[in-house]
């Protein structure tokens, strides 16, 4: 699968997902090639925004606090991907879906891509633009979760797919809010 297939994951029920499923990359390869580079974007943007926008908006917050928050944010992201893979497999099994850890990890590695990319809005200091970017990233991630449940986990019954996607999304939101709070720790402290 090439990076050019990622937009097709949003628009097509099968075209992009079939190409993704055919390659069937190992969890380690998915983590190293997809999750690792994409997960670097938010901490780097947090570092940038903390030293530029954060310095202007919160002058009493030292730059080192933003750097530490970015570092811990990165570590938390790296732990969240395998945790979400395990959680997706558990949720699917609880709904009677026969899935393996590999497919669940694949969904956990693909679903946060829009959230990771949405952090690029931190180049701007406009709070409404930042909020809009985060909402768009969240919505796109929810779409990927729903389509991934249907195509990676092979859930054909729509109500079951919605149920699994809803549960995965709810757990993902808890993880996302935790990560956001970790990124805002210098301001909150």
* SS3 of residue 65 by DSSP: helix
Domain spans of the chain? Answer: 27-188
Q: Determine the Cα angle at 86 with ends 85 and 91, to 5°.
A: 100
Alpha-carbon distance 119 to 81, whole Å? 17
What is the Cα 104 distance to its own chain's centre? 14
pLDDT digits (tens, 9 = 90+) for 130-170: 889 989 999 999 988 988 888 888 888 889 989 999 999 99
DSSP code string of 76-97: HHHHHHHHHHHHHHHHHHHTT-
On the 0-12 / 13-18 / 19+ scale of CB atoms within 10 A, 59 is: exposed
Structure tokens at 69: 């928050």
pLDDT digits (tens, 9 = 90+) for 23-82: 778 889 889 988 999 999 999 998 888 888 777 777 777 878 888 888 999 999 999 999
């Amino acid at each position: 699968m090439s990076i050019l297939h990622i937009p097709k994951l949003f628009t097509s029920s099968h075209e992009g997902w079939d190409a993704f499923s055919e390659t069937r990359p190992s969890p380690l390869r998915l983590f190293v090639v997809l999750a690792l580079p994409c997960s670097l974007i938010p901490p780097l943007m947090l570092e940038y925004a903390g030293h530029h926008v954060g310095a202007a908006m919160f002058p009493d917050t030292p730059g080192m606090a933003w750097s530490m928050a970015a570092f811990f944010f990165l570590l938390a992201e790296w732990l969240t991907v395998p945790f979400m893979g395990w959680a997706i497999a558990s949720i699917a099994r609880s709904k009677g879906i026969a899935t393996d850890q590999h497919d669940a990890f694949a969904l956990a590695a693909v679903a946060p891509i829009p959230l990771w990319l949405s952090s690029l809005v931190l180049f701007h200091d406009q709070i409404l633009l930042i909020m809009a970017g985060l909402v768009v990233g969240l919505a796109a991630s929810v779409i990927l979760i729903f389509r991934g449940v249907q195509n990676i986990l092979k859930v054909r019954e729509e109500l079951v797919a919605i149920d699994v996607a809803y549960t995965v999304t709810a757990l993902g939101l808890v993880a996302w809010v935790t990560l956001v709070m970790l990124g805002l720790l210098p301001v909150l402290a």
